Amino acid sequence: MKSKLVTTFLALAALLSISASVFAHHGNAAYDNKTMTVKGTVTAWVWTNPHSFLKFDAKDDKGNVVHWLGEWNAPSTLINFGITAKSFKPGEEVTVTMRGMAKSGEPIGRVEKVILPDGQELSMGNER
């Protein structure tokens, strides 16, 4: 299993001044304004309401596997930005940029964009 896990863990945390993004259902209060990019392997793409989420594994700088979770918008919104229920497959290596990380310190963030193995970038552009 370890061989399937990813490889590189890029934690590029940067404090950015961004406006609160809008997830219309539950709210933003549990997230900060940090940005982080992580390279990992998809374990599940959960296409559900009120929000979708991408599960992926990555190793930290000590070699420990971290189970990441990237929360994204509802399917009814994502579908208009070229992101579908079939956009991610388990086992794929992806690079996930999250803007807004869990204040609790858990490996959870809000997805801003994902780069697929073929280099294709999936995002909502300037909208969230």
Partner 1 sequence: MLNRFVAATIIFAGMAYAPATRAQNPPQRESGKNIHREGWDRIVPPQQQTGAPAPVRDLSGIWEPIPGYRDGVFATGPRGYPADGKPEHELPFTPLGLKTWHEHKPGFGTTAVPIAENNDPFDICDPIGFPRIELFNLRAIEFFQNKNQVAIIYQNDQVFRNIWMDGRQLPKIDDLPEPRWYGYSVGKWVDDYTFVVETIGLDERTWIDNVGRPHSDQLKVTETWHRVNHDVLELTLTIDDPKMYTKPWNALDKFKMGLQPEWFDIREQVCAVSEELDYTKTVAKPVDAAKKK
Shortest spacing between CB 69 and partner 1, in angstroms: 6
Residue 63 vs 125, nearer CB to partner 1: 125
Q: Please report the beta strands in 4-126, taking only residues with DSSP state E, as ranges in sequence order.
A: 14-15, 34-46, 52-59, 65-72, 93-101, 108-115, 121-123
Residue 6 vs 54, nearer CB to partner 1: 54
**Residues lying near partner 1 in the complex (CB under 8 A):** 22-31, 46, 48-51, 53, 69, 71, 74-77, 79-84, 102-106, 108, 113, 120-125, 127
Q: Are the C-beta atoms of 109 and 36 separated by less than 8 Å?
A: yes
Shortest spacing between CB 126 and partner 1, in angstroms: 9
Residue 5 vs 21, nearer CB to partner 1: 21
Residue 7 vs 104, nearer CB to partner 1: 104
Nearby residues of 54 by Cβ (< 8 Å), 6 or more positions away: 42, 44, 45, 46, 69, 70, 72, 88, 94, 96, 111, 114
Shortest spacing between CB 84 and partner 1, in angstroms: 8
